Every structure is written in structure tokens, then in C-alpha cells.
């Protein structure tokens, strides 16, 4: 049996049709606790925190499926200890190779923070028509540092090339190498990126070693007159307090965020968004901050393709172990 906690990316008719074809009984939404002992697979997006307390309600659970690349909502240690296999988009590189949604949001943040388009629009709606208030700088000849040069990082670099930007790329896979990838110059360290670049875009995964990857140490290395940093990867990658301080003293010119560290808290309060430091600073100051609610992968077309693929894999796994 499968418990679909939320049908993210899946239409109800698809759930029943695919489940019937695989001959696997599926429940959608809340279920009786007695049934949980019969559940072999769970399907869920990011809305549920699948920690040990939650997962222990399913004593015979063998599979968890999530149509995401981020797995910070799943207690992977518990899964390993209890022989629960996690199915996700991480092992579906061919499927997601052409997904562009996260890169689109990263570039929106970069353009928004650099060109101030929302402020310009608000000015018009307030009855003004004064372009002289909104002279900024173009991307032409600027330097962008990309931290994490996988699928998304490379797409960022390709677009940056079209703006005639110079791209510096850093990835742990580069360590010990000295190579140039097309029009991408290899950076030998994250510190080098902060020393040289005008923009930084982060595209790393959710491994524990990436916690506080970017902090005061990197912000202190900024030599240009303010740097714009974009994070669409994981909230814990940037030290939020250090980032706010860097904005206040002018080291950072802008901060674009699609993820917050508090997303991964097990003890979320109802007001966790309002209590977040970056959100509070955005509301209470004029600092150049742009925030979106983790919408990088939230497009109907890409999510439906990803969801069906992951759900089908879950059905196959459960059907062969029943």
C-alpha cells in the first residue's frame, strides 16, 4: 500500500489510474492509524517534514518518494537505519536535464536586484514617469561566480555568456584540476569568486558539508563596490546573519533568496516566516533584498513530468515487494 501525503504534481485521476495499473492500493490524504502499519511507500513533496517521529508511525515503510532534488525534509539517517529507500529526482538526471525553472528564478532575482524593476513599476503606478530615478548598470562585461557547476550551474553560465559576462565557476569536482569549460573560467576556490566577481549564484546540493558555506569569511573578501548574491539552492548554505550584516555595511549590494534556513526546522512555529531574519530585515529596512517562497522548481509543466516519473518508480518498487 502507498500513502500519498500530498498529490503535488499529480492529478487525482492519474494517481488512481497509475495505481490500478500497478495493482497497488493507494490512499490520498489523512488515513486511520491502523492502516499505517500496512503502508510500504509514502509519496510527498516539501510540505511535510518526514522526520523520525513522523516516519515511525509507519512501521513497515520501505520507500519514500519525493519529486524533488532537495531532500532536507527527509530524515535520511532514520531511513538508512531502517532500510527505507528514498526515491527522488537525484537519480533522474536525464529526465530533469532540460528543466529551466530554477534558473529562471535565479535570473529574475539577479535582474530584479540589479535593475530595480519592481521599484520602477511601483513608481509608475504611483503616477510617476521618471526614468532618471532608475539608472543602474548593465550586465555586460560584469563577472559572475557560479558556485556548484552541475546541471543548473552550467545553464546559468550559458545565459551569462549571452549577456557577455565573464563566468567564474567553482565546484568541488574541479579540485586538483586546472581547466576551462567552454567560456567558463575555473575558480580554484569559493574565496576567489568573492574576490573577483560582481555577482554570485549558488547551486550546490544538500550535503551537510554545505552548511554555512558562505559566511563573513567570504563577505570580507569582496573587493568590488558591492556584490549581488543569489541563493536558489538550500537555505542553510548562507549564514543569514552574516549576509544581513554584509548588506548593512555595503559589502553586499543585493541579496536574492528563494530558500530560507528555517524551512528545514523541525520545530516550525506558525510565524516562522515572519520570524526569519531575512524576512524581518526586508520588511523593516530599505536594504536591497528579494525573496521568493522556494518557487524555483514550481512550474506545472516540469513538476508534472517529475512527479509522474517518481510516483511510477514508487509504484514499481512497492508492487515488487508486496
- Domain harbouring 60, CATH code: 3.40.50.720
Top-confidence residue, 297 or 190: 190
What confidence tier does 69 reach under pLDDT thresholds 50, 70, 90?
confident
* Separation CA 289–CA 146 (nearest Å): 19
Specify the pLDDT at position 92: 87
Beta strands 143-147 and 166-170, pairing class: parallel
Specify the pLDDT at position 178: 55
What confidence tier does 235 reach under pLDDT thresholds 50, 70, 90?
very high
Specify the pLDDT at position 216: 96
166 three-state secondary structure: strand
Q: Residue 179 pLDDT > 70, yes or no?
A: no
Specify the pLDDT at position 51: 92
Which segments of 163-276 does DSSP mark as H helices, in order?
190-196, 216-219, 240-248, 272-275
Q: Residue 237 pLDDT > 80, yes or no?
A: yes
205 three-state secondary structure: coil
Specify the pLDDT at position 38: 94
Q: Residue 287 pLDDT > 90, yes or no?
A: yes
Q: pLDDT above 70 covers what percent of the chain?
A: 96
Specify the pLDDT at position 211: 93
Q: Residue 202 pLDDT > 90, yes or no?
A: yes
90 and 105 inside one domain: no
127 and 243 inside one domain: yes
Give the lowest-confidence range in 172-186, 193-207, 234-248: 172-186
Q: What is the mean pLDDT of residues 198-223?
A: 94
124 and 217 inside one domain: yes
* Dihedral of the alpha carbons of 51, 237, 147, 89, in degrees to the nearest 10: 10
Please choose, from the candidates 71, 87, 93, 89, the residue with its C-alpha nearest in 3D space to the C-alpha of residue 315.
Answer: 87
Specify the pLDDT at position 64: 97
186 and 106 inside one domain: yes
Q: Residue 68 pLDDT > 60, yes or no?
A: yes
Total structural domains in the chain? 2
What confidence tier does 90 reach under pLDDT thresholds 50, 70, 90?
confident
* Separation CA 221–CA 223 (nearest Å): 6
Top-confidence residue, 206 or 194: 194
Q: Residue 70 pLDDT > 70, yes or no?
A: yes
170 and 87 inside one domain: no
Specify the pLDDT at position 267: 66
* Separation CA 305–CA 299 (nearest Å): 10
pLDDT tens digits, 252-272:
999 999 999 988 766 667 789
162 and 36 inside one domain: no
Specify the pLDDT at position 321: 85
225 and 124 inside one domain: yes
Specify the pLDDT at position 322: 60
Dmax over Cα atoms in the chain, in whole Å? 68
181 and 246 inside one domain: yes
Specify the pLDDT at position 97: 87
Please choose, from the candidates 17, 45, 48, 91, the residue with its C-alpha nearest in 3D space to the C-alpha of residue 307.
Answer: 45
Mean of pLDDT over the chain:
92
Contacts 24+ apart (CB under 8 A), 217-220: 217/191, 218/190, 218/191, 218/194, 219/194, 219/243, 219/245, 219/246, 219/251, 219/252, 220/251
Q: Residue 132 pLDDT > 70, yes or no?
A: yes
Greatest mean pLDDT among 105-114, 219-228, 291-300:
105-114
146-183 core/surface letters (b: 16 or more CB in 10 A; e: else): bbbbebbbbbbbebbeebebbbbbbbeebeeeeeeeee
287 and 304 inside one domain: no
Q: Residue 177 pLDDT > 70, yes or no?
A: no
144 and 110 inside one domain: yes
55 and 147 inside one domain: no
The DSSP annotation for 274-290 comes to HHSHHHHHHHHS---EE
- Give the residue numbers spanning the domain of 143: 101-291
42 and 162 inside one domain: no
For helices 101-115 and 151-162, the axis angle rounded to 10 degrees is 50
Give the pTM: 0.86
Amino acid at each position: 500500500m502507498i500513502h500519498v501525503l500530498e498529490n503535488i504534481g499529480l492529478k487525482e485521476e492519474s494517481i488512481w489510474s497509475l495505481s490500478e495499473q500497478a495493482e497497488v492500493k493507494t490512499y490520498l490524504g489523512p488515513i486511520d492509524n491502523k492502516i499505517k502499519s500496512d503502508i510500504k511507500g509514502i509519496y510527498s513533496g516539501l510540505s511535510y517534514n518526514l522526520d523520525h517521529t513522523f516516519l515511525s508511525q509507519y512501521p513497515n515503510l520501505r520507500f519514500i518518494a519525493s519529486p524533488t532534488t532537495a531532500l532536507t525534509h527527509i530524515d535520511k539517517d532514520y531511513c538508512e537505519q531502517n532500510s527505507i529507500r528514498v526515491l527522488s529526482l537525484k537519480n533522474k538526471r536525464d529526465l530533469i536535464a532540460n528543466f529551466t525553472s530554477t534558473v529562471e528564478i535565479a535570473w529574475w532575482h539577479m535582474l530584479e536586484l540589479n535593475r530595480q524593476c519592481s521599484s520602477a513599476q511601483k513608481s509608475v503606478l504611483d503616477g510617476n514617469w521618471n526614468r532618471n530615478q532608475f539608472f543602474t548598470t548593465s550586465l555586460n562585461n560584469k563577472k559572475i561566480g557560479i558556485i556548484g557547476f552541475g546541471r543548473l550551474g552550467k545553464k546559468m553560465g550559458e545565459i551569462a555568456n549571452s549577456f557577455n559576462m565573464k563566468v567564474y565557476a567553482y565546484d568541488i569536482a574541479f579540485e586538483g584540476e586546472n581547466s576551462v569549460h567552454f567560456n567558463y573560467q575555473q575558480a580554484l576556490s569559493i574565496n576567489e569568486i568573492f574576490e573577483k566577481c560582481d555577482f554570485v549564484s549558488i547551486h550546490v546540493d544538500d550535503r551537510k558539508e554545505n552548511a554555512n558555506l558562505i559566511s563573513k569569511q567570504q563577505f570580507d573578501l569582496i573587493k568590488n563596490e558591492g556584490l549581488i548574491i543569489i541563493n536558489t539552492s538550500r537555505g542553510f548554505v548562507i549564514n543569514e546573519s552574516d549576509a544581513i550584516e554584509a548588506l548593512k555595511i555595503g559589502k553586499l549590494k543585493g541579496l536574492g533568496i528563494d530558500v530560507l534556513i528555517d524551512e528545514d526546522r523541525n520545530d516550525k512555529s506558525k510565524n516562522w516566516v515572519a520570524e526569519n531574519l531575512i524576512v524581518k530585515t526586508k520588511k523593516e529596512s530599505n536594504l536591497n533584498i528579494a525573496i521568493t517562497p522556494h518557487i524555483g522548481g514550481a512550474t506545472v509543466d516540469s513538476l508534472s513530468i517529475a512527479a509522474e516519473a517518481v510516483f511510477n518508480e514508487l509504484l514499481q518498487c512497492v508492487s515488487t515487494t508486496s
